[in-house]
Amino acid sequence: MDSNSYDNATIAAAIDHTLLKPEARAVDIDRICDEALEHRFAAVCVNSLWVPRVARRLSGSTVKTCSVVGFPLGASLAAATADEARIAIDAGAHEIDMVMSIGEALAGDWDAVRDGIATVMASCQGITLKVILETCLLTDSHKRLACEVCRDLGVAFVKTSTGFSTGGATVADIELMRSVVGPNMGVKASGGIRDRDTAVAMLWAGANRLGCSAGVAIVTGGTGTEIY
């Protein structure tokens, strides 16, 4: 595997161009929308506050509007996260990235984890749902069980990371997640993807979506600093 295994268009089509920092301003949101339109990224991923603006800016294009919910801790009431998802969808979001209840997963309360995801999934009413596992906080056993829960519920994607914890995506985690969910479910690598070689490594390992804010640098062959 090398960085020529995927062309720029293929890589770009897998990128969720992301800006989740609390200090993001309207001008920053407009910039990432324009970059996504120029490079034909898969989506622009933002906090729900910015969904109406992003949806308007991307209107009529193939670039999707994606909102995070229950972010970044995964410690909100499931009903509150579900409401945030519903409101974001009503405001124009095409995709929702939710954070799994990490504490309940670590405690082994998988019924609660499942119920929480199912509650948000019901609120999405068929809109693409990605579930963030925050893999850096989990053992491999937790990761497998979380993927099994998401697979069995029919979630569209499992996703590695928020980008706000102690680590991001790894090739090993992508391989593990893909091995559990099978060939047809989505796997999103997120966090720490700053250059083309890393992006290609994640795709090669089994990711079919990349969450990153260095997307422009990745598809133009440069390097970038993530600005989650």
Give the residue numbers marked as catalytic: 97, 159, 188
Q: Are 105 and 91 in contact (CB under 8 A)?
A: no
Token pair in block for residue 138: 């989990």
199 Cβ contact partners less than 8 Å away, ≥ 6 residues apart: 6, 11, 14, 15, 193, 210, 212, 218
Q: Report CA dihedral (102, 41, 94, 89) to the nearest 10 degrees.
A: 70
**DSSP H helical segments within 7-109, as ranges?**
8-12, 26-39, 51-58, 78-90, 102-106
